[in-house]
Structure 1
């Protein structure tokens, strides 16, 4: 029970990687506050999760929503030990010159400003518990990706933000880390796949970019997240942990051959 009696504030925890994390965290003994902006996904997640779970309908890009969500979580559970900033979007799959201003702003507001909002309103709770923050990044934040410039830029920002936050909050005993998957089969990845020039080859491409030979489900990332938010990782901070099956070792070569 690595997370026994811990309270985790998890954004985007109703589907994809976030939902896999919710299941793993709950199994490890945590109490969950799950934030989503989708009423339907909340309903579906609530039917599958057991135990004491608080669901909050809120948008991470809206400061007032996050202030309310943090306050409600702290009131309900009496503490917050972990903030896992998992909420994110990947649309659109476009080059920079094809990306509209609205699309650009939406990506940064959710993927980057969302972290700012949860930290701004949640940091005092984490100071009380000497808790930690985990951000869900992506391998593309380090190496880039074709026709996905704005998304890659947000994840590069997440990586830099993670390292700077680790330095800022270390004096309070607060660790800040990130996980950086490559391909992971989630609803978001499936949507991205449909936007590619030749969507029929994407499944094979996603298998081949990973040195281990397959594109995984979200549980492999959830297991890494469990480690990072637990006391097992008590001396790790400022880490951008690849959960990539070795994709970065041959990623550019495979991209050039496949797309």
Structure 2
């Protein structure tokens, strides 16, 4: 079933992890996908997977000129833009706030938050024309916090607030804005985070146990929710920060 047939979807960070899973799911659902990646090799590898009917662009999502050019290339190629999925993000450093450097703080804020500003700045005029949709990949830690991950948690709390404010700002233009909130997903970024922890060997058992459903998923479970939120089946849903977390937000459970 092609829930996204002929929709033009631009996804940042679409070449790895959750982003790659979403890219593949959007293609399978019939969309024309514009994949934004940080380096030429990852973009080329992704294009080999999804084919030439789509568009791959190497872009630094923290740079206004790069984002503007990416939107322009999308319109030149496809003539329209139906959705922007702000998926690009970084998870490091994993440390308390007082030990976070200025450089680490600024980089996190630029990738995880400023990139949303830039895609909105250059993409919203086109989304107004199509009455399109914006989707953010956020995180459950933006709602409940996380030990030794203060700056990252702050960026995701900001994304969650942006989701609601942007939904209000653009509602009269027919643009819906939502976010998905994973708890943990087995991605390269998660593996990096795990190995930054004091006892990395115990982390993967922890990642399984925090999910009430009993396992830490791959990116496909997030991608399925994203396909729904960008489809017409979600046409009356906006301003929602949707946990896709296996029930991790529900609290403690007995696992012994």
Matching residue of 2:203: 202
Matched, 1:190 2:191: yes
RMSD over equivalenced CA pairs, Å? 1.3
Cα deviation for residue 45 of structure 1 reads 1.3
TM-score, normalisation: structure 1: 0.96
- Name the SS of the counterpart of 2:9 in structure 1: strand
Matching residue of 2:130: 129
Cα deviation for residue 43 of structure 1 reads 2.2
TM-score, normalisation: structure 2: 0.97
Cα deviation for residue 195 of structure 1 reads 0.3
Q: Is the 8 A contact 2:44 2:56 kept in 1?
A: no
Matched, 1:235 2:236: yes
Matched, 1:72 2:73: yes
Report the number of matched residues.
254
Matching residue of 1:26: 27
**Which blocks of at least 5 consecutive residues in structure 1 are unaligned?**
none
Matching residue of 1:159: 160
Q: How does 1:215-230 map to 2 (within 5 A)?
A: 215-230=216-231
Matching residue of 1:117: 118
Cα deviation for residue 51 of structure 1 reads 5.2
- Name the SS of the counterpart of 1:112 in structure 2: helix
**Which blocks of at least 5 consecutive residues in structure 2 are unaligned?**
none
Cα deviation for residue 49 of structure 1 reads 1.5
For 1:76 and 1:47, locate their aligned partners in 2 and report how far apart those are by CA, in whole Å.
18
Matching residue of 1:103: 104
Q: Is the 8 A contact 1:183 1:244 kept in 2?
A: yes
Cα deviation for residue 42 of structure 1 reads 1.2
Matching residue of 2:43: 42
For 2:10 and 2:16, locate their aligned partners in 1 and report how far apart those are by CA, in whole Å.
15
Cα deviation for residue 111 of structure 1 reads 0.3
For 2:25 and 2:50, locate their aligned partners in 1 and report how far apart those are by CA, in whole Å.
10
1:224-248 per-residue CA deviation (whole Å, 9 max, x = no partner) reads 0000000010000000000000011
